[in-house]
Structure 1
Amino acid sequence: MQEEPRQKAVIAGVELKGGGDFDYAMQELRNLADACYIEVVDQLSQKLERINPSHYIGTGKLDELKILLEAHEAEAVIFNDELSPSQIRNLEADLECAVMDRTMLILDIFAERAKTREAQLQVDVARLQYSLPRLVGLRASLSRQGGAGGAGFRNRGSGETKLELDRRRIEERITILQAELEKLVATRQNQRKKRKKNDVPVVCLVGYTNTGKSSLMNALLETYDPETTKQVYAHNMLFATLETSVRSIELPDNKSFLLTDTVGFVSQLPHHLVKAFRSTLEEVTEADLLIHVVDFAHEDYEKLIEVTNHTLQELGAENIPTVYAYNKCDLTEHPYPRVAGDSVYLSVKEKAGLDELVGKVKGEIFADYVTRDILIPFSEGRLVAYFNENANVLETSYEAEGTRLRLECRFADYERYKQHFVEMAGES
């Protein structure tokens, strides 16, 4: 099958004084374009005190941009920030080419990756809300506004949704989609309530997009349940996972926890998307523990950590206990598996360091477990069965008065049933 020719684009950005790591932001924009099947042929940047309100960049740079577009025969310009409706209108008129901004690019990627009905609805709502104030000037750039399939420029003119859609019709569409989304959100919230009721700890995988979160989930599933058929989709690309997946990890010592895989983060995640994906992102805020997966082989891995921590802060999840999983150590010189404080250095690909990671997780989420030596009278035999199923029984022996168990159990279980057994003296 012959590969479709990639669209050519120039990326452009303004470096503001004290505006953060500009080089990193531009590299990230390049990666986002690549994920959208767009070939970046050149880059233009400008240092300014403030963004030009009419054209984003200054008039001199605008002329420079025209020359670059002509020289490379590029069909589009992608700007590093979210553009206002008037900026899009003015730039399209002056450059006579398609104009995209960072938000459009991310929305396009999400649209292509969305697989479940909920994710597709979330992306559609975000795209419609983004396009609403921009109807007048978007011309060809927004010809892809309709469905959730297909990215950016490749579908231009395919008639997914006509630009003639007026504001009223778009608003009506948003209302219909949001009503459907609310039903799915309610279902998800009910599932969360049930999980809380069952008192099973929830561990949430978070991190920058494409650090190996889904691969880590699969590796843990396969390690603790070799017969599993519940693997999640994992692929080496930005935003491979948009759906929240929840899997139960059953440990050999009768302990278990729920592991949640979430959408990856990226800097300047569009607020329309954050709003639309709120039900998915809520999973993070209600977790008992976060596993922050880091691509340790990435040259800017510290920046990726920063982006994720900033997003967690915005979600109100910055105070949840966190274990850092430094993945892809096999691509570095760093020794692994290794535990240092709240960090575990590992390689998901080689399944090296998984036991160490689970050890750290257990230390965090099963801190309320106690080890006891108890004697259960024969008349309370049901308790022996209960503890065999719900605790980690280390030793069993039979005495004249009943069954003696040395076990590790939840403190709550110990308190609930202690009047039915005798605790053996001198044991902790």
Structure 2
Amino acid sequence: MKTTRTATAVLAVVLVITGCQAMPATTGVSRLATERNAGAPPRYLRNVDGGADYFKRFSKPLPLSPTFFPVGVWLESITSMDEIHRDADVGINVYVDLTADSNLSLLDGSGPFALSSSPSLRDNGAVLADEPDMWAGPGNDKWTGKWPGQGAVCEPEAGRCGYTVQGQLAKGVENSKMAYANYGKGVTFWESDGEAARFVNEYQDVVSADNYWFTDPNICGKSEGGSLVKGERSLTESECRLPANYGWTVDRVRSLVSPEGSKPVWSFVEVGQPFDASTEAVTGPQIRAAVWNSIIHGARGIVYFNHSFGGGCRSFHVLREGCAQQTRAEVTALNRQLAELAPVLNAPFLDNAVIHNETVQSAVKVYDGSLFILTSSARAASQDAVFELPCLANGGGNVTVLGENRSLNMEKGTFQDSFPNGNAVHLYRLDGAAPLCMP
């Protein structure tokens, strides 16, 4: 829990037609599949959630340029320009809440930007309570005004007042200001769809939920990760410790948004050990795969949980620490790629455009006349995968693998690639292919 405000061996029998689909992420045990002989559903363009110009409606909005993709850090402190520059060098462009000792006057409006739980003329949005679905619960009882660790938060003490907490805080936000809130295991695992949906829909303009699949010692249990198998059992380690499950969390939150697709969902990814009981810190390849899985499943922003309470690099500022130098370098490289591809990430999806085996996940984006296919493995073991684009069945050519200095050959709309483990991510570009595949 976070601190709060105080290529041939293919499973060719079962195929998925995706763009990406709004369905639970594969864990190796459950995901809907479409048989090849059932016929391909029609392709269609789908805007990013909320639309590309979503932030335009707010006063002092986050940048409206398609070159801006939110990459945030949670509850950081800024007390000097050196700290801001150090974070910007990593690729952080949004502070998602700030500590009480932070000096927002250091922000000049050109970035990084800030969402804050303490109103400021220098912020770009308000942050409501963090994880009230867990510490206050889904209910309308009276809130005492206290935070976790300060005494009873609800009245009566055994009551549930999470809706009251968020409602009161939301009323204090200027009408034209963007509001953001993050939720936890209540929304993702423990609450009914109706209870969770009220948190997701009623109080904020941008929403997220944090499930730390790589480092949480409890998340594989029957009452938590077991949700991926309908609560029938706990997940095995190989089913649980998968970056694909970060995509499941995004899907869970997106499935609760009403109207569908009307609100951006961001994704939390840890960069250290959020729990003292965590057996080891998350690795750079795991972070990268978790981020890309989140984006494949529709996340419109990434927030790094930058606090580490276990292991040998305990800090509230992991990405600034010398003991996390390798993590910092790997996250910097990842964020540089996100910045380079921001126009693609903000572009529409082309759903039902590609067919592949069910143990791979993908999303297809249309940008500047080209198709971009974002893919990741959805199982721990190595695998080869075949990708088939029916709209290019009469064509061939090169498929550029972004960031890997290689290309693949496509024949009759089909190409193949290898995924060595569950952290494998490949990003493909098919130059000039978009006009041939548009619905």
TM-score (norm 1): 0.25
Q: Decide which structure has the larger Cα Rg and report it.
A: 1
Q: Which has the higher helix share?
A: 1
